[in-house]
Chain A
Amino acid sequence: MSDSDSHATGSPYAPQTAAETAAMLDAVGADDLESLFDVPESVAFDSEFGIDARSERATRREVARLLGRNADLTEFLGRGHYDHYVPSVVDDLASRSEFLTSYTQYQPEVAQGFLQALFEFQSMLVELTGLGVANCSMYDDATALGEAATLSQRVRSVSGDRILVPEHLRAGKRAVLSNYADGPDLTVESYPMSDGIVDVPALADDIGDDTAMVYAESPTVRGVIEERLGAIGDLTHDHEALFCLGSDPIALSLLERPVDVGADVVVGDAASLGTGTAYGFGLGMFVTREEYLRQVPGRLVGASEDAADRRAYTLTLQTREQHIRKERATSNICTNQAWVALRTAMHAAWLGPDGLIDLAKDCVTRARDIADRLDDIVGVKAPIHGRHHFREFLARTDQPASAIVADLAAEGFAVHAVDDHLVQVCATETTADATDEFVAAFREVAK
């Protein structure tokens, strides 16, 4: 091969040969590539980044070497990010390049596959919640909660700017909510919890006609299944505020339907299906009542017909969105988590309704069993709340929580430290094989 035929230029993914480059430069009347850049001398960058190119093999080795510095721990960790087994078929199908390398479906005639998949994702969330409208993803549960707060201000008939959230809200989630609340001047306030669930009388004292939205979770960040959702919904509606419920699709397969407890919006992280653990990588779900349809943030896929009268899918109600409505849009979201939603829909379909319900039951019984086993250890009380749990629970330890965490890490296990003497343990099917060793290690470190 002569030099002019070679693809071996700087970027291995720029496929023009030297001969093609020369022909194209000739066609546009340019002497060389540099002359194409219309950058004034005064701002031109004439230095180097100092980044050496590596081969594929060397890059992979470098990443492996770096990640090798992570401790090898079995993670009994949750608090908003969960590891569930993802079947291989999900990886395989989602990796098909027609899905992976496509864009937002602005030309629906050549995007029917992805649109149908997203329509099916929306449909699953509608079934799980009982509410009429699901969008086809937000970034994560925290950003979805932020969008719910701003929605509440847009749709509420009376004025008021207070957003009430449980005192046991993950700090990261609350911090994101605060940023979303900043622009529209909403105020985020905590209401008390009592023994792991919402203190409804205290909430009744806090709530007022200036409350725009009440947010509650089930399961809570501590894994407690909220027992009084209906009462929270009634109280919220007495003040014409929006009731926003946080959950996830696995929990929703078993727990009370949000529509039955009066939820107006359901948010949460749907990445518990289809993704596994990826350092907090998420998939925000956003489901609401049909009456708020035109105030929904994000993409919506709708069914329509094509010119041959066949069912066809398309992005719809785009006049809510930033690319049409600009500063009057319901949200600034553009790129969302569509591919993650595809994976979640695949995983849910793979499990089917039986599989989902069984997985959810497993989240209840597994947490109960491991809590019982830890409770047998001298110096440990688990769970600290005498309630039903989902995936995770708190344990009180005589030893300082920080010491428990450090000592367990030395034994190869990770748990959360929540307070001075409180640790949180999350158990799913992915750690099932390690449970016996974990309990034994806990016994050692709790002494």
Chain B
Amino acid sequence: MNYDQARWTDDSDDLYEPLLSEKANETVEVDDSPLPDDLTRDSLSLPDPAEPELARHYTRLSQMNYGVESGPFPLGSCTMKYNPSFTEDVAGRADAAIHPGRPDSTVQGTLALCHRLQDYLGRIGGMDAVTLQPPAGAAGEFTGIQIAKAYHEHNDDERSEVVIPDSAHGTNFATAAMAGYEVVELPSGDDGRVDIEALEAAVGDDTAALMLTNPNTLGLFERDIEHVADIVHDAGGLLYYDGANLNALLGRARPGDMGFDVMHYNVHKTFATPHGGGGPGAGPVGVREELAQFLPNPHVRERGGNYEHYEPSNSIGKVHGFYGNWPVLLKTFAYIARLGDEGLRDASAKAVLNANYLAEQIEYEVPFGPFHHEFVASAGEQDAADAAKRMLDYGVHPPTTKWPEIVDEALMTEPTEGETKRSLDQLAAAFNAVAGDSDAELADAPSRPTAKRIDQATAARNPRLSWQALDDT
């Protein structure tokens, strides 16, 4: 965000008109078609800017947007870390642009890269086999739960429930429901961790799986994880690891060693892919050996120095039309190769240090602890959403708000390893300034970004989702 420029344009309404809106549209008749009239449309009405106009339009839009390279972006559970430029170069290589319809023998390089990345991710997660196909974390969850379902069906063991802690990501709940399971919500214990008694009460013959992230969304390590695993396994269920918080554990503990049977990796969080305003990501899934037979088709293996696709014997089928979000996987490979063992461990250590340091510097109450990569502060008497808007005025992106719900007026904060002490101090200063601001100041915020507070209620009550739906045309 270029605030100075944004302020300069504050009073000029015209600059807020969408350049590519109805006002710039050109309507073109479809004639001289190589097709009969009854197979074609009559006309097409779309924006028609010249390239210089297009360049200015999108450059201006970019200036009205805040990214990690604009400043701190401590959005808890989203792991917004700096992404090296060189991984973008690697993913954009002309020779990486391969069509998925080619025979295996003509794409040995691409398959070799897939195989090497499968191997790396397996080592990092402590998993025996890894599929690269799921195109996002939630797609990885769906893949993992479909694998668990296939496993139970394979064993003629019908199970109808998935157990999920109340602090879990919303995707866990939605994924379990999407796969046809009933969700059993598990209340957190007083210390913010899994309540063993509640778990024992929730788990039984109907339990297909427990979905868990560790460290959890409060930034707390589930110290009783082996006990948790025993309870779930004794009941015949599987333990699913949500990899959203893996950045906090690299090289210190591995899901496979903790007793998890299935996991997904949010490679765009833990490794490197800029989030691109909401995607693409990728969500590879790792499993222990017994579950490898259920992995999506195709899977990549090596035979006698050659690489090939094959269909695992009891494959769940496919979760993406082709091979998943391949460019994202290339970036992941490049990032892991660049950092290696020592770099991955260091990234994790600095992410944990930064979270603990920041938690120490801010004046809001921070319950629980000690923390791994993130912590959840409470805005207390303030409204967390308002506090977040006020933080925008201090030039930083606010944390995730009002979630998880087990902390009142939650400010869920994850600075990542990409911040210096200086920028953490700047973040802490923003937090502390907001903590001292009045409710009136919070309610009026923000005043500095390109847009002031946006009316969400009207947007939902009167949905206008395209320029065709704008009523002031």
Contact = CB atoms under 8 A, between A and B. Distances in A.
B30 A37 contact: no
A25 to B, nearest CB: 7
Chain A: interface secondary structure?
mixed
Contacts of B84: 12-13, 56
B198 interface: no
Nearest to B141: A332
A66 interface: yes
B65 A45 contact: no
B354 to A, nearest CB: 8
Given A54-B340, A109-B449, A348-B46, A304 B459 contact: yes
A23 B254 CA distance: 29
B430 to A, nearest CB: 13
B58 A280 contact: no
Given A99-B62, A302-B459, A352-B26, A53 B339 contact: yes
Contact of A45 (B67, B253, B322, B420): B253
Contacts of B39: 225, 227, 255-256, 388
A25 B353 contact: yes
A307 B95 contact: no
A324 interface: yes
Given A175-B317, A326-B173, A139 B139 contact: yes
Interface stretch (A123-131, A372-380, A435-443): A123-131
6 contacts: A60-B86, A99-B67, A101-B69, A101-B73, A337-B135, A346-B58
A285 interface: no
Interface string B207-234: 0000000000000110101100000000
B154 interface: no
Contacts of B325: 139, 281
Contacts of A176: 317-321
A280 B323 contact: yes
A317 to B, nearest CB: 6
B339 A10 contact: yes
Given A49-B341, A103-B278, A300-B465, A116 B18 contact: yes
B170 A255 contact: no
B321 A140 contact: yes
Interface residues of B, number: 195
Contacts of A128: 44
Contacts of B310: none
A131 B458 CA distance: 22
A302 B67 contact: no
Given A137-B279, A329-B174, A338-B277, A62 B352 contact: no
Contacts of A106: 75, 400
B347 A353 contact: no
B192 to A, nearest CB: 12
A62 B113 CA distance: 10
Contacts of A190: none
Contacts, number: 653
Contact of B65 (A112, A139, A349): A112
Interface string B91-108: 011011111111101111
A432 interface: no
Given A49-B120, A346-B58, A302 B465 contact: yes
A64 interface: yes
A159 interface: no
B304 interface: no
Interface string A101-128: 1111111111111101111101110111
B350 A16 contact: yes
A356 to B, nearest CB: 7
Interface stretch (A160-168, A198-206, A357-365): A357-365
Interface string A76-102: 011111010001010111011111111
Interface string B242-269: 0000000101111001100000000010
Contacts of B327: 278-279, 281
Contact of A335 (B138, B320, B326): B138
A1 interface: no
A67 B113 contact: yes
Contacts of B1: 98, 110
A311 B63 CA distance: 17
A70 B98 contact: yes
Contacts of A323: 169-171, 403
B303 to A, nearest CB: 15
B337 to A, nearest CB: 5
Interface stretch (A178-186, A208-216, A234-242): A178-186
Nearest to B108: A69
Given A66-B113, A105-B278, 13 more contacts: A10-B347, A15-B418, A15-B419, A37-B352, A51-B123, A100-B274, A110-B449, A113-B61, A119-B467, A183-B180, A326-B173, A328-B177, A340-B280
Interface size class of A (residues with CB under 8 A): 35 or more
Contacts of B317: 175-176, 178-179
B236 to A, nearest CB: 21
Contact of B45 (A23, A116, A127): A127
Contacts of B467: 119-120, 123
| Residue from A68, A102, A365 having most chain B Cβ neighbours under 10 A | A102
Given A278-B96, A336-B278, A356-B44, A316 B459 contact: yes
A111 B392 CA distance: 11
Interface in B94-132: 95-103, 105-110, 112-113, 116, 120, 123-124, 126
A289 B13 CA distance: 32
A386 interface: no
Given A63-B330, A113-B61, A352-B48, A103 B277 contact: yes
B463 A293 contact: yes
A23 B421 contact: yes
B460 interface: yes
B368 to A, nearest CB: 11
A317 B139 contact: no
A324 B170 contact: yes
A171 to B, nearest CB: 9
Contacts of A49: 120, 123-124, 251, 341, 344
Q: Which of B45, B180, B317 has the most CB of A within 10 A?
A: B317
Interface in B50-80: 51, 54-55, 57-70, 73, 75, 78, 80
A231 to B, nearest CB: 12
B86 A113 contact: no
Given A25-B353, A339-B279, A70 B95 contact: yes
Q: Considering residues B99, B171, B339, which has the most beta carbons from chain A within 10 angstroms of its beta carbon?
A: B99
Given A62-B337, A278-B326, A312 B112 contact: no
Contacts of B93: 63-64, 67
Nearest to B350: A14
Q: Which 3 A-B pairs have the closest CB atoms?
A: A280-B322, A10-B346, A339-B276
B83 interface: yes
B142 interface: yes
**A37, A77, A83, A281: residue with the most chain B Cβ atoms closer than 10 Å:** A281
Nearest to B166: A326
B364 interface: no
Given A9-B346, A67-B110, A133-B465, A304 B454 contact: yes
A219 to B, nearest CB: 11
A295 interface: no
Contacts of A433: none
B24 to A, nearest CB: 9
B67 A308 contact: no
Given A101-B83, A102-B275, A111-B66, A45 B252 contact: yes
Nearest to A361: B34
